[in-house]
Structure 1
Amino acid sequence: MRFLKLDPFLMGLVSAVLLATFFPCHGAAVPVFRWLSIGLIALMFFLQGARLSRKAVVDGLVAWKLHLLILCCTFVLFPLLGLLGHALLPNLMQPEIWMGVLFLCCLPSTVQSSIAFTSIGGGNVPAAVCAATASNVLGIFITPVLVGLILSKHGGAAGNPLDIVYQLLLPFILGQVLQPWLGPWAHRNKKLLSFSDRGSVLVVVYAAFSDAVMQGLWHKLPVAEMGVIALVDAVLLFVVLGITIFAGRAFGLPLKDEIAVVFCGSKKTLASGVPMANVLFPPASVGMIVLPLMMYHQIQLFVCAVLARRFARMTQQAEQHEQTPEIRHAS
Structure 2
Amino acid sequence: MKRTFIDPFLIALVAVVGIAYIFPYPGTKASPFHLDEIADFGVSLIFLFYGVQLGPEKLKAGLSNFRLHIIIHVSTFILFPLIVILCRPLFYTSFLQQTWLPFFFLAALPSTVSSSVVMVSIAGGNIPAAIFNASISSLIGVFITPIWMSIFMQQNGNIELGSVIGKLLLQVLLPVVIGLLLNKRFGEYAASKKPALKLFDQTIILLIVYCSYCESFEEGVFKGFALSNLLLLLVMVTVLLMFVYELINLLTRLLHFSREDRITASFCGSKKSLVHGSVMSKVLFANAPNSGLVLLPLMLYHGVQLLIISIAARKMQQAKNNGIAERLDRPGSV
- Relative to the length of structure 1, the TM-score reads 0.87
* Count of aligned pairs between the two proteins: 320
Distance verdict in 2 for CA 1:234–1:308, change over 3 Å: same
Q: Partner of 2:294 in structure 1?
A: 289
Q: Residues of 1 paired with 2:313 and 2:188: CA distance?
A: 32
Distance verdict in 2 for CA 1:3–1:115, change over 3 Å: farther
State how 1:252-267 maps to structure 2 within 5 Å: 252-267=256-271
Q: Partner of 2:17 in structure 1?
A: 17
Equivalent residue in structure 2 for 1:225, among 225, 229, 244: 229
Is the contact between residue 110 and residue 264 of structure 1 (CA under 8 Å) also seen in structure 2? yes
Query: In structure 2, the residue corresponding to 1:52 is in which secondary structure?
Result: helix
Residue 179 (structure 2) pairs with residue 179 (structure 1): no
Q: Residues of 2 paired with 1:52 and 1:309: CA distance?
A: 26
Distance verdict in 2 for CA 1:126–1:320, change over 3 Å: same
Q: Partner of 2:127 in structure 1?
A: 125
- Indicate the larger mover: 3-12 or 105-114: 3-12
Distance verdict in 2 for CA 1:3–1:70, change over 3 Å: farther
Is the contact between residue 123 and residue 314 of structure 2 (CA under 8 Å) also seen in structure 1? yes
Q: Cα distance, 1:95 vs. partner?
A: 4.0
Q: Partner of 1:237 in structure 2?
A: 241
Q: Partner of 1:45 in structure 2?
A: 47
Query: In structure 2, the residue corresponding to 1:53 is in which secondary structure?
Result: helix
Is the contact between residue 3 and residue 302 of structure 1 (CA under 8 Å) also seen in structure 2? no
Q: Cα distance, 1:96 vs. partner?
A: 4.1
- Indicate the larger mover: 57-66 or 163-172: 57-66
Residue 299 (structure 2) pairs with residue 298 (structure 1): no
Q: Residues of 1 paired with 2:173 and 2:133: CA distance?
A: 20
State how 1:316-331 maps to structure 2 within 5 Å: 316-318=322-324
Query: In structure 2, the residue corresponding to 1:276 is in which secondary structure?
Result: helix
Q: Cα distance, 1:157 vs. partner?
A: 1.9
- Structure 1 segments, 4+ long, off by >6 Å, are none
State how 1:1-331 maps to structure 2 within 5 Å: 2=2, 4-24=4-24, 25=26, 26=28, 28-29=30-31, 32-60=34-62, 63-91=65-93, 93-152=95-154, 155=156, 157-158=158-159, 160-161=163-164, 162-283=166-287, 284-315=289-320, 316-318=322-324
Q: Residues of 2 paired with 1:106 and 1:30: CA distance?
A: 34
Q: Residues of 2 paired with 1:221 and 1:113: CA distance?
A: 31
Paired AA for residue 317 in structure 1: G
Paired AA for residue 282 in structure 1: A
Q: Cα distance, 1:225 vs. partner?
A: 1.2
Paired AA for residue 2 in structure 2: R
Q: Residues of 1 paired with 2:84 and 2:180: CA distance?
A: 32
- Indicate the larger mover: 15-24 or 271-280: 271-280
Is the contact between residue 240 and residue 266 of structure 1 (CA under 8 Å) also seen in structure 2? yes
Q: Residues of 2 paired with 1:220 and 1:112: CA distance?
A: 37
Is the contact between residue 106 and residue 297 of structure 2 (CA under 8 Å) also seen in structure 1? yes
Paired AA for residue 164 in structure 1: L
Q: Cα distance, 1:240 vs. partner?
A: 0.3
Query: Which sections of structure 2, spanning at least 5 residues, go unmatched?
Result: 328-334
Distance verdict in 2 for CA 1:115–1:155, change over 3 Å: same
Query: In structure 2, the residue corresponding to 1:253 is in which secondary structure?
Result: coil
Q: Deviations over 1:262-291 (max 9, x none)?
A: 111111111332122122213422211010
Is the contact between residue 124 and residue 317 of structure 2 (CA under 8 Å) also seen in structure 1? yes
Distance verdict in 2 for CA 1:109–1:156, change over 3 Å: farther
Q: Partner of 2:332 in structure 1?
A: none
CA RMSD of aligned residues (A): 2.5
Q: Partner of 2:330 in structure 1?
A: none
- Indicate the larger mover: 235-244 or 30-39: 30-39
Query: In structure 2, the residue corresponding to 1:43 is in which secondary structure?
Result: helix
Is the contact between residue 4 and residue 302 of structure 1 (CA under 8 Å) also seen in structure 2? no
Query: Which sections of structure 1, spanning at least 5 residues, go unmatched?
Result: 322-331
Is the contact between residue 62 and residue 128 of structure 2 (CA under 8 Å) also seen in structure 1? no
Q: Partner of 1:326 in structure 2?
A: none
Q: Cα distance, 1:185 vs. partner?
A: 2.7
Paired AA for residue 19 in structure 2: L
Q: Cα distance, 1:31 vs. partner?
A: 6.8
Query: In structure 1, the residue corresponding to 2:323 is in which secondary structure?
Result: helix
Q: Deviations over 1:162-218 (max 9, x none)?
A: 432332232223323333333233222111111111111111111111111111132
